[in-house]
Amino acid sequence: MRIGMGYDVHRLVEGRPLILGGVTIPWEKGLLGHSDADVLVHAVMDALLGAAALGDIGTHFPDTDPAYKGISSLMLLKHVRELLDQNLYIIGNIDATIIAQKPKVKPYVQAMRETMAEALEIQISQINIKATTEEGLGFTGAEEGISAQAIAGLETVENYSYAVDPRQACGGCTGCGCPKR
């Protein structure tokens, strides 16, 4: 098993939509960023990329690239899933926390789980999202921004191989249907 963690923060500003976990939340302010500034999705992407040792979101989606200006973070999340697929990683689970004084996001958590699970092509039971405040402390407590943290567990395809010797095309097991048994 491989474990990765992710963290992201964005400033709250007027005149932008508030998008968390791919869900638009009605609020007087939104998050400032090059993309849609979805801190939850960004933290999850960094956790997944970290677990796979594939760098971070800044490496794959630099904020200096106009191609990512205003892009939906769910599109970026789908690309991360494709990177995991290409490198033969399987998502075990994701656990994420949104840190925001306001707005209360609990009513939207289920929709966030569904939206992100669909983008990652995983079961909803593989992703957990929590929300908390910082009791009025710090920049999130002062309602200046929102942050998110995430941890992800990945499995490798090798962990599901029944081959006795992974260097051989057929390891000689009886469960895989290999003609050399």
* For residues 74-85, average pLDDT: 97
Residue 99 DSSP SS3: strand
List binding-site positions for a divalent metal cation: 8, 10, 42
Highest CATH level, class, for 2-158? alpha beta
d(CA 40, CA 114): 14
Going by C-beta distance under 8 Å and a sequence separation of 6 or more, which residues neighbour residue 114?
124
d(CA 131, CA 133): 7
Residue 27 DSSP SS3: coil
* Cβ pair 126, 117 in contact under 8 A: yes
Residue 118 DSSP SS3: helix
* For residues 159-168, average pLDDT: 56
* For residues 157-173, average pLDDT: 56
d(CA 76, CA 27): 24
Report the run of H or E that residue 150 belongs to, with start and end: strand 145-156
Average pLDDT of every residue of the chain: 90
Query: Tell me: the pLDDT tens digits for 117-129?
Result: 999 999 999 999 9
**Domain ranges (residues) in the chain:** 2-158
pTM for the whole thing?
0.87
Q: Give the β-pairing of 89-99 and 127-132.
A: parallel
* For residues 63-90, average pLDDT: 95
List binding-site positions: 8-10, 34-35, 42, 56-58, 61-65, 132-135, 139
> Comparing C-alpha atoms, which of 148, 149, 142 is closest to residue 29?
142
Q: How many other C-beta atoms lie within 10 A of the C-beta of residue 114?
A: 15
d(CA 81, CA 75): 10
* For residues 150-166, average pLDDT: 75
Q: How many other C-beta atoms lie within 10 A of the C-beta of residue 130?
A: 13
Query: Tell me: the pLDDT tens digits for 47-68?
Result: 999 999 999 999 999 999 999 9
What separation, in Å, do the N-terminal and C-terminal C-alpha atoms of the chain show?
29
